[in-house]
């Protein structure tokens, strides 16, 4: 059946909305494939505004991987701002893709990538605008399968009512497997309809279909058990791990945005995973083990990506880029190649050591030495032991001294507030550290023109981490500690003016905590908040704590649970956690032991890249292994393509 573009109806309305260019598509390297000759059609969504969604690596990779396949079509859709939402409702225009402006409801599958739980209300807006029932059980035969992925999908229970399925882990291979299951099912004449397709996906063991699992509760509100309710459906759903990143060198042809976006550069992921073992870090835990892309593949990707896009900035991405076994050669090789050109290189990097300064120097050959960011995360030595971030204050001072000596003038320090076992004093020590940083800069340069910016985020305990059992600090405590720190810095005549302090109040963290560790009962809260106007909750100007607490009060009425129960309550080892049936590979006993060690003062866990395996469980249970260099290969020769 031909599917018509909504663009002729949309275009005349765009002059009345903000930033209309974000809805028109047609970016360099975007694709519009023939609808009728495609057998399987994906709509890929990033549930935030275009400016945030377009640069998302996950969506760009899957968009290309899928479109490269014969008979497969993939288009992108993003959240529309409330001004366009109102107009679309008024004119009956459905949620559309920016590529072909096709209605999302016409696709076979809507894949939504969640980086943060605060995007959940935007999912509901998109479903509703697409004309899809909000609840998966109400969907009709012809409606797309709604599939969640991304880091937040490691606990999809709060959105279990709204999605048909979820996948855990790396997307490249599983989207193709899902595509083949759909293709087969369609070719066979759609046996047993929608339910038959979902069952085929579920029995594969790699796709979670929430409706095939029943959750029962104890009288006190805790979960009693989660059990499959269909034959052949596994008790545990496993995450996907791509083992050879060199075999998946995407994006090859990165999308070049038309409207302003948060990152305008070509990003190459130089490795996936992190085994440093920071106890708060969900990304590090769920992406294990470390798998490096080889130096030669990185070099080829940079060359190809710049040629295909015309970008003049390259970012080398990963969870801790300076840890790549060949980062020194890579940085020097790329810096040599692009020296004297307009191409700049960047390395989002947080490791606190002098080696990082050497790298930063290489990368700034073509640019200014503006700011360097380090993340001690915890204000006191005690706190850093608890979170397994083994950085001493002296290490930090040595590093920043080297940075200032090398011409850097701005240092940014990132911390968290509300960490387990934290006391007021731990946060106040941030002030002392910032003062020493300024003094080190003044001593190293003989100048008073030195700045240090301290950014503080509220800690949110996340599933699949050792802190998954922890009590989250209430927002009053977090706010009180941050206010005290602010007052201390304001009163400081000697250093105060050189130190900038950035922080948010603790309320959004509580809602993020509710959504991160929530179970299926939290879905009703999300729906109430959305019905009450909740949109773009990750944006402080749109977020309303009162709307969330009011929604929770209504949704939890008559139940044994409330927002505190999900957030500030510490869990016991025996409690069934909502995500226990979703297997990220981490051994539950290891996680518990690591949590106990944190509470007992924080025995250090080293990085298994360089020390023996300490049995976190991932490699044996997932059939994976650490993959690191050195490969002994060199980056050169490359041809400079962007002069
Ligand atoms: S199983 Fe061992 S080697 Fe693999 S990620 Fe865990 S600690 Fe590291």
What tens digit of pLDDT does each residue of 190-203 get?
999 999 999 999 99
pTM of the model: 0.96
Q: Residue 461 in contact with residue 468, Cβ under 8 Å?
A: yes
| Cβ–ligand 1 contact at 559 (below 6 Å) | no
| Cβ–ligand 1 contact at 616 (below 6 Å) | yes
Q: Residue 430 in contact with residue 444, Cβ under 8 Å?
A: no
Q: Is residue 130 pLDDT above 50, yes or no?
A: yes
Ligand 1 pocket test, pick from 284, 589, 612, 616 with the greatest ligand atom count within 8 Å of Cβ, gives 616
pLDDT confidence of 636, banded at 50, 70, 90? low
pLDDT confidence of 1, banded at 50, 70, 90? low
Higher pLDDT, 354 or 509: 509
pLDDT of residue 345: 85
CA dist 558 and 112 (Å) reads 32
pLDDT of residue 349: 60
Segment holding 375, helix H or strand E? strand 371-377
pLDDT of residue 355: 67
| Cβ–ligand 1 contact at 275 (below 6 Å) | yes
Higher pLDDT, 344 or 108: 108
Ligand 1 pocket test, pick from 241, 243, 608, 609 with the greatest ligand atom count within 8 Å of Cβ, gives 608
Q: List CB contacts of 202: < 8 A, sequence separation 6 or more.
A: 165, 208, 209, 212, 230, 232, 233, 234
DSSP structural state of residue 572: P
Q: Is residue 89 pLDDT above 90, yes or no?
A: yes
DSSP structural state of residue 420: T
Closest protein CA for atom 2 of ligand 1: 613
Q: Enter the tokens of residue 179.
A: 């595509």
| Cβ–ligand 1 contact at 510 (below 6 Å) | no
Mean pLDDT of the chain: 94
What's the whole-number mean pLDDT along residues 55-66?
A: 97
Q: Residue 478 in contact with residue 457, Cβ under 8 Å?
A: no
Ligand 1 pocket test, pick from 286, 287, 289, 464 with the greatest ligand atom count within 8 Å of Cβ, gives 289
pLDDT tens track for 326-378: 998 998 899 888 888 888 888 776 666 666 778 888 877 766 666 788 899 99
| Cβ–ligand 1 contact at 276 (below 6 Å) | no
Rounded to the nearest angstrom, the distance between the alpha carbon of 147 and the centre of ligand 1 is: 29
- Can you tell me which atom of ligand 1 is nearest the CA of 616? 6
Rounded to the nearest angstrom, the distance between the alpha carbon of 232 and the centre of ligand 1 is: 30
Q: Is residue 276 pLDDT above 60, yes or no?
A: yes
pLDDT of residue 640: 47
pLDDT of residue 542: 97
Q: Is residue 57 pLDDT above 80, yes or no?
A: yes
């Amino acid at each position: 059946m031909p599917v018509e573009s909504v663009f002729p109806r949309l275009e005349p309305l765009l002059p009345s909305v903000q930033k209309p260019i974000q809805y028109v598509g047609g970016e360099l390297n975007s694709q519009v494939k023939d609808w009728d000759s495609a057998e399987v059609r994906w709509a890929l969504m990033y549930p935030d505004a275009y400016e945030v969604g377009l640069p998302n690596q996950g969506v760009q990779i899957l968009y290309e991987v899928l479109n490269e396949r014969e008979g497969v079509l993939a288009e992108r859709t993003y959240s529309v701002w409330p001004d366009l939402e109102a107009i679309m409702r008024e004119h009956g225009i459905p949620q559309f893709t920016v590529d072909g402006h096709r209605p999302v409801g016409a696709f076979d599958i809507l894949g939504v990538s969640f980086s943060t739980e605060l995007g959940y209300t935007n999912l509901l807006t998109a479903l509703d605008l697409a004309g899809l029932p909000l609840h998966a059980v109400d969907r009709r035969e012809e409606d797309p399968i709604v599939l969640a992925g991304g880091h937040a999908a490691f606990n999809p229970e709060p959105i279990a009512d709204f999605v048909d399925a979820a996948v855990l882990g790396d997307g490249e291979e599983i989207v193709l497997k899902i595509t083949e299951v759909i293709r087969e099912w369609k070719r066979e004449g759609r046996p047993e309809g929608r339910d038959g397709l979902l069952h085929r996906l579920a029995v594969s063991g790699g796709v979670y279909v929430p409706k095939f699992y029943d959750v029962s509760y104890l009288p006190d509100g805790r979960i009693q058990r989660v059990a499959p309710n269909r034959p052949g459906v596994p008790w545990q759903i496993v995450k996907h791990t791509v083992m050879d990143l060199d075999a998946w060198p995407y994006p090859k042809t990165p999308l070049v945005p038309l409207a302003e976006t948060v990152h305008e550069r070509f990003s190459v992921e130089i490795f996936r995973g992190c085994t440093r073992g920071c106890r708060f870090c969900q990304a590090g835990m769920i992406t294990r083990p470390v798998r490096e892309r080889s130096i030669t593949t990185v070099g080829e990707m940079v060359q190809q990506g710049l040629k295909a896009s015309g970008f003049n900035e390259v970012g080398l991405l990963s969870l801790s880029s300076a840890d790549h076994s060949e980062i020194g050669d890579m940085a020097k090789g790329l810096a040599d190649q692009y020296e004297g050109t307009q191409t700049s290189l960047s390395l989002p990097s947080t490791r606190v050591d002098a080696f990082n300064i050497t790298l930063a120097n290489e990368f700034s050959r073509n640019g200014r030495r503006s700011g360097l960011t380090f993340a001690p995360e915890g204000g006191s030595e005690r706190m850093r032991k608890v979170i397994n971030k083994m950085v001493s204050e002296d290490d930090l001072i040595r590093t920043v001294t080297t940075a200032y000596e090398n011409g850097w003038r701005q240092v940014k320090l990132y911390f968290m507030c509300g960490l387990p076992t934290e006391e007021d004093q731990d946060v106040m020590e941030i002030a002392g550290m910032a003062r020493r940083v300024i003094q080190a800069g003044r001593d190293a340069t003989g100048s008073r023109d030195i700045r240090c910016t301290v950014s503080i985020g509220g800690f949110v305990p996340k599933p699949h981490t050792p802190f998954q059992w922890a009590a989250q600090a209430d927002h009053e405590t977090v706010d009180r500690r941050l206010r005290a720190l602010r007052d201390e810095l304001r009163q400081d005549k000697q250093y105060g003016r050189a130190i900038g302090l950035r922080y948010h109040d603790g309320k959004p963290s509580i809602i993020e905590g509710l959504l991160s560790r929530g179970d299926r009962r939290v879905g009703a809260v999300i729906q109430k908040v959305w019905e009450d106007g909740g949109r773009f909750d990750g944006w402080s100007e749109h977020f309303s704590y009162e709307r969330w607490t009011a929604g929770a009060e209504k949704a939890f009425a008559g139940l044994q649970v409330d927002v505190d129960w999900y957030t500030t309550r510490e869990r016991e080892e025996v409690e069934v956690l909502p995500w226990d049936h979703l297997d990220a590979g981490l051994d539950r006993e290891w996680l518990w032991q690591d949590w106990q060690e944190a509470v007992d003062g924080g025995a250090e866990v080293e990085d298994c890249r360089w020390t023996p395996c300490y049995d976190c469980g991932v490699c044996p249970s997932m059939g994976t292994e650490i993959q690191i260099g050195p490969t002994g290969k060199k980056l050169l020769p490359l041809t400079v393509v962007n002069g």
